[in-house]
Amino acid sequence: MGTEENSGFEPATGDGPVPVEPAAARAASVRTAFEGLLQIRRLTGSGEADPLAVPAPWERNRPVRAVALALEHAGAAPSAVAPSGQRVSAGYRVSRGETPGAVRVEWTGPPGSGAVHDEEEALAGCAAALRELGWTVLLYRGARRRRYLEVEPPGEPSGGRGRA
């Protein structure tokens, strides 16, 4: 039997293939998965003043998946990769962060896609969507002065790097 991570719905992390599923069907799947996430927050967040306002233990244990779902639900476009490994579309890319429990969100795309010019505005939109869901989001500059977000559940220690 497969685990939850390798069967059923998978949110787009930006490292997968170009979607082949019809847009309406994908949107319905994302909506259902996000409603499930909110239900998890309701059921497990009884000690919180507003259980919908903070990441649930499920999200803290699967931060890449939870952040990718939140971004896809917010309408952000994921990047995509061809079978050859080449990036074929511009959008967000979610990966493990530098510290345990943290997630890195970049805005990336193939050469000539304009991703570098869109990244400031696009990452600001990603940050707003994630903060609305209770995540702690910090903006950094990395290699070649490219911006990226470091996303953590509230109360987690920061990586301690300088902000952009």
Q: What is the mean pLDDT of residues 136-152?
A: 93
Rg of the Cα atoms in the chain: 16
* Reported pTM: 0.88
Residues 6+ apart with CB under 8 A from 123: 105, 107, 139, 147, 148, 149
Instruction: Look at 23-27, 35-39, 42-46, 88-92 and tell me which has the smallest mean pLDDT.
Output: 42-46
pLDDT digits (tens, 9 = 90+) for 89-140: 999 999 999 999 999 999 999 999 989 999 999 999 999 999 999 999 999 9
DSSP bridge pairs for 92: 78, 107
d(CA 116, CA 134): 27
At residue 156, the pLDDT reads 62
pLDDT digits (tens, 9 = 90+) for 150-164: 999 998 655 544 444
Q: How far is CA 73 from the centre of its chain?
A: 10
Contact 105, 93 (CB under 8 A): yes
pLDDT at 75 > cutoff 70? yes
Q: Between 143 and 160, name the one with better pLDDT.
A: 143
